[in-house]
Amino acid sequence: MLEGYTTLGHLAAHTSTTRLGLLVTGVTYRHPGLLAKIVATLDVLSGGRAFLGAGAVWYEREHKGLGVPFPPVAERFERPEETLRICRQMWDPGNNGPFEGEHYQLAETLCIPAPLSSPQPEIMIGGSGEKKTLRLVAQYADACNLFASDTDELAYKLGVLRGHCEAVGRDYAAIHKTVLYMDPSGNLEGLPAAMAEYAKHGVDEAIVAPPVAAPAQWIEHHAAPAARALAELG
């Protein structure tokens, strides 16, 4: 696949309304200070349309293939929290550092030009881990992206998220709830019915991925009809 942030920079120049972000950035691939600068730059160049999608990493083969260190599992869930804290601090013009964490240390958290999004670019956290990932959503994120095999599992995960929100004093309703919709057939005919069920549980958005081959034709022949069907649900 294409490198994500290079692709988003290209899309920023060729679109005017599309929101721009990755689902999601594995935090070990880019140092948090650089990642914060990348997203801020994308936000400036796109006129305030960038968001940060972030999550823990899992693909050991890719790390080894690219020569990127692959931390132990516990550390892979510690680094996202420090990354989110660093990004939020760098995007705060009133706080220029330093940052002292267990895994990252920054002498300054200066980010000029600052992002255009107000108050900061939105943060989406992908994943459904109950102890760590959904807790990070409650503490730091504007949106979540959940993986659920059925609506019963989805309802359970959302209940866990609600509990984390209550524990940290966060408004559960303020979190934009998204799901990754996987259609084995690839034609999206089941998407409208699935979204009707998701909506009953408070899901705001479904995210779908085009196939690697002929994505433009897939959007025209499958995604566009599904979008029209969704609009008819009202």
Residues 6+ apart with CB under 8 A from 212: 1
Distance between CA atoms of residues 173 and 80, nearest Å: 23
Residue-wise pLDDT for 11-53, tens only, equals 999 999 999 999 999 999 999 999 999 999 999 999 999 999 9
- Whole-number average pLDDT of the chain: 94
What CATH number belongs to 1-115? 3.20.20.30
Residue-wise pLDDT for 115-145, tens only, equals 999 999 999 999 999 999 999 999 999 999 9
In the chain, which segments carry CATH 3.20.20.30?
1-115
Distance between CA atoms of residues 85 and 178, nearest Å: 22
Residue-wise pLDDT for 217-233, tens only, equals 999 999 999 999 988 87
> 109: pLDDT confidence band, cut at 50, 70 and 90?
very high
71-99: average pLDDT: 95
